Amino acid sequence: MLPYLIMLVFCGIPLFFLELSFGQFASQGCLGVWKISPMFKGVGYGMMVVSTYIGIYYNVVICISFYYFFMSMTDVLPWTYCNNPWNTPACVGVMDAANRTLANATGVLQGVAEVVVNRTKRTSPSEEYWKHYVLKISDDIGNFGEVRLPLLGCLALSWVVVFLCLIKGVKSSGKWEKVLDAKVWGDAASQIFYSLGCAWGGLITMASYNKFHNNCFRDSIIISITNCATSVYAGFVIFSILGFMAHTLNVPVSEVADHGPGLAFVAYPEFCLLETLVTAVVDEIGTDWIIKNKPVVTLGVAVIGFTLGVPLTTQAGIYWLLLMDNYAASFSLVIISCIMCICVMYIYGHKDYFKDVEMMLGFPPPLFFRFILIFTVIQYKPITYNDYVTFREASHKWGPALREHRTGRYAPMSSVQGSNQGSSNTQNTPDPVAL
């Protein structure tokens, strides 16, 4: 808990604000914003790759939620008892024990004594339902087996829902010694980045639709704290259930369920990524056809995402899902965020960034945010060669998207842009620098 809260204050909230202000100022997606420094555009592509991976497997998690929703529409939940064809002799259910109590109290006492003596690992009905019925999990990552048709149907439904939400654009849419363990801090950082959506490109994309003078600083504080509070509440809920299950099964909490998405479906059955990819494609290509037919692009991306998610609905799909979750959406988010901070704070310059924020919000970032965001850049000086200062002055391609917002140091660029547009109209050629 302590590493999580520290990472929230010193990493999560400042980076959340940085991405919101970044996208809102330029009104561009995760690729377009890198007009600030084109040599770092690879960071935008990295965000797209991460969003692609997460979009593929996260919709599989959504589809499993749909599956549990439909399967719960019965008088008796199928994961309540251990008398189903898919259950094993190791299955121990709370409801089964309650029924035995009503039938024969002495038998229950003998059963409890047998459980205490027998150290064999027990499993719950929900875990066996998850592994042996929902997944029909194979014994190896290379053994794909069959496609689980119920999951495939729910996957198609989840992609249809995402597409319908975005078809018209965004508007329709432990113990104290653990503190010394580096892995705990790494997990806390990854969880903060994952839960807040930092480095996915989604925050930049969604913020690009904000009004230019929207108070994104207030938004970042409210959303980050609310997200953290929700995560803590969800943790209390799921771990209280896991603790009860561990007590019933007479096993440690760590052995109640495996890690990964299965944890949610054993304890209790648990859209911005697609918009990130679509906006990046539209901003990058930028042709009239692409802009006018954005719903077609959205449909194409959704179909591709569904197709790539089909292997995750096979009997070995859970192995691939965990592989993608652990390597595509964990520490890679931290690396992308670090590079983004280096670009904005070192290359573009923290002073210019703070001036941009003040022009947009009407006030500069608080001193606390400045201290966290610039940390080691205080001694930074721009690279110079003779009289040329590299990576320091704002490019005419960078800045607010609308001309009425191009004030202060961006005013001369607006005039240059206007004259370029005038010459372009005269020559009937497109403006190469218009945002």
Which residues are part of a known binding site for Na(+)? 195, 227
70-73: long-range contacts, CB 8 A cutoff, minimum separation 24: 70/154, 72/269
What is the full DSSP assignment across 9-25? Answer: IIIIHHHHHHHHHHHHH
Closest to 190 in 3D by CA, of 202, 205, 200, 178: 200
Closest to 324 in 3D by CA, of 50, 43, 134: 50
> What is d(CA 129, CA 163) in angstroms, rounded to the nearest whole number?
31
Q: Which residues are annotated as a binding site?
A: 195, 227
> What is d(CA 165, CA 187) in angstroms, rounded to the nearest whole number?
32
Residue with the two structure tokens 């439904």: 157
Q: Contact, 275 vs 281, CB < 8 A?
A: no
What is the full DSSP assignment across 224-244? Answer: HHHHHHHHHHHHHHHHHHHHH
Residue type, 45: Y
Closest to 139 in 3D by CA, of 264, 319, 326, 265: 319
Task: Calculate Rg over the CA atoms of the chain.
Answer: 26
